[in-house]
Amino acid sequence: MIDENTKKQLIQEALEARRKAYVPYSKYPVGAALLCKSGKVYQGANIENAAFPVTVCAERVAIFKAVSEGDMGLDTIAVVTKNGGTPCGSCRQVMAEFNPELIVIIADEQGEIKQETTLKEILPGYFGPASLVE
């Protein structure tokens, strides 16, 4: 796992990202801060849309920002919600695409860590690139 200072930094960045969420429908802002192996941190906030299926979660925003910058060495992601809610299935699947060993830190809006785990623990039996090998 990662050191306490890094955890605190990621949670603070996720809290900052959460303030930028666009959530006029659910009123459930989520912030994410993704640490890549390069040392760079990418923030993401959930962005809702009146056509609900096109809403994008904070975790995927952060991951897509990193990948679009060519930074695919995902290491740790901190996710902050009001009550310490965990990433949805779609976000877990996107995480699995890039690092099934990804460290996932879940915190509430006070910055209190509710859970620290790995993606493989919260998405056992994931479908990944190796699943497509004949």
- Residues recognised as catalytic: 59
Tell me if residue 47 falls in helix, strand or coil: strand
What is the token pair recorded at 95?
A: 């995480």
How far apart CA 127 and CA 36 sit, in angstroms, is 22
Closest CA to 41 of 1, 81, 71, 80: 71
What is the token pair recorded at 2?
A: 């990662």
